[in-house]
Amino acid sequence: MTTPITPAEPSNAQLVVAITARALFQLEDGHDLFEREGVKAYADFQRQRENEALAPGIAFPLVKKLLALNAGAPAGRPRVEVILLSRNSSDTGLRIFNAIEHYGLGIIRAVFTSGAPVYPYIKPFGAQLFLSANPESVRRALEHGVAAATILPAKSAGDSAGEASTPDEKEDVSGQLRIAFDGDAVIFGDESERVSQQDGIAAFHAHETERAHEPLSGGPFRGFLAALHELQQAFPARNSPIRTALVTARSAPAHKRVILTLREWDVRLDEALFLGGRDKGPFLQAFGADLFFDDSKHNVENARQHVATGHVPHGVSNP
C-alpha cells in the first residue's frame, strides 16, 4: 500500500481532461450493434443492460490515476477534473453514469449529444487535453486548438493484428502517474521535422545546430504540458505523484535546442531520452509510461507493443 503524498503547498492549478465514453469504458459490442442495426437496436441493448457495469476501457487506468491526484484537495477545488463527452443520448448514457458510480470515479460533469460531434464542448469546459477512440473527433479538436489524441491500447505479445490487451483493475504499486511525450509535432512545432523529412538527417542536424539558441515553436501539446507542470508544483519534487518524460528520436547535436527551449518556457520534464532513431517502445516500458503521445504512426505502432499510446494526427507526418 502506498502512502498518500501531501502537497507542498495549496495550489489553484487545475488540470481538466475531456474523455469520450468509448475511451473510458468498453462499448465496442454496442457500437458494433449500432453500426449493423441502427439507433433503436443500440438503445434497446443499452437499456436492457443499464444496471450491468461496463468493463474498463483503454483510458480507465489513466483516469483512475488522474482522479487519485485529488486526494487531500480542498472541498470544491479538485486538482484534476475529468469531463465525460459522449455521442450517446442521455437515455442510453444512463448506463455510462451507472458504471462511473459503480467504479467510484469522481466524474460529475458530462455531455451527451445524441450523435452530434462532441468537440465543440471541449473548450467551454476549459479542458487542456481531449482523449478519444474516434480519430475524426481528435482531428477536429486539434483543428480547434486543443491537445488531442486517439488513444490506443498496449498490445500484448500474443495479440494478433488488430487485437489488443484489455486493461484490468490491478493497481500500480507506485501509484505514480507517468506520461511521456514525443518532441517534434507534439510538444514542439513540426518545422524541424519538415527539414528532416524533406532534406535528410544531415540537413536537420545543421538546421538545429545553427538555431540552437532560437526557441522551438510550441506544438499542440505545449499547453497541456504546461498545465501538467503547474500541477506538479503543488507536490514535493522528490515525492511527486506525477512523473514526465520526453522520448524523442533526436540525438546530439540536436538535443541542445530542445533543452534550451524547455528552459525558456520554464517547464520541467523529469526525464529526457534522446534515442537517435532507436525504437521507443522498450524505453517507454522501462519508464513505465501510463500513456505516450506521438505524431508518427510508425512510432505509435512500435510504442503500443509496450504501453498505451495516443496518436496525435498533427504536422508533416499526418497530411
Task: Please indicate, yes or no, whether residues 100 and 186 belong to a single structural domain of this protein.
Answer: no
Q: Per residue in 300-312, pLDDT tens?
A: 999 999 999 999 9
Please give the mean pLDDT across all residues of the chain.
88
Q: Examine the fold and report which residue of 150, 169, 196 is the final residue of a domain before the chain moves on.
A: 150
Q: Catalytic positions, please?
A: 182
Looking at residue 155, its pLDDT comes to: 67
Q: Per residue in 40-89, pLDDT tens?
A: 888 888 888 899 999 999 999 999 999 999 998 888 899 999 999 999 99
For residue 129, name the pLDDT band (cuts at 50, 70, 90): very high
- Return the CATH number at 266: 3.40.50.1000
Number of folded domains that form the chain:
2
Task: Please indicate, yes or no, whether residues 306 and 199 belong to a single structural domain of this protein.
Answer: yes
Task: Please indicate, yes or no, whether residues 183 and 301 belong to a single structural domain of this protein.
Answer: yes
Task: Please indicate, yes or no, whether residues 183 and 306 belong to a single structural domain of this protein.
Answer: yes
Longest distance between any two alpha carbons in the chain, whole Å: 64
What is the rounded distance in angstroms from the CA atom of residue 166 to the CA atom of residue 26?
A: 9
Task: Please indicate, yes or no, whether residues 73 and 200 belong to a single structural domain of this protein.
Answer: no
Report which secondary-structure segment, H or E, holds 227. Answer: helix 222-232
In a domain, 319, yes or no: no
In a domain, 5, yes or no: no
Beta strand 271-274 with 242-248 is parallel
Task: Please indicate, yes or no, whether residues 104 and 183 belong to a single structural domain of this protein.
Answer: no
| Over residues 143-156, mean pLDDT | 88
Are the beta carbons of 224 and 128 closer than 8 angstroms?
A: yes
In a domain, 265, yes or no: yes
Domain range enclosing 230: 177-311
Looking at residue 12, its pLDDT comes to: 54
Task: Please indicate, yes or no, whether residues 301 and 210 belong to a single structural domain of this protein.
Answer: yes
Block residue for cell numbers 522528490? 238
| Over residues 256-280, mean pLDDT | 95
Looking at residue 13, its pLDDT comes to: 62
Q: Is 66 or 38 the better-scoring residue by pLDDT?
A: 66
Task: Please indicate, yes or no, whether residues 192 and 294 belong to a single structural domain of this protein.
Answer: yes
In a domain, 43, yes or no: yes
For residue 163, name the pLDDT band (cuts at 50, 70, 90): very low
Q: What is the dihedral of CA 319, 59, 285, 180, to 10 degrees?
A: 60
Report the percent of the chain where pLDDT is more than 90: 75
What is the rounded distance in angstroms from the CA atom of residue 86 to the CA atom of residue 144?
A: 18
Single pTM value for the model: 0.88
Looking at residue 5, its pLDDT comes to: 40
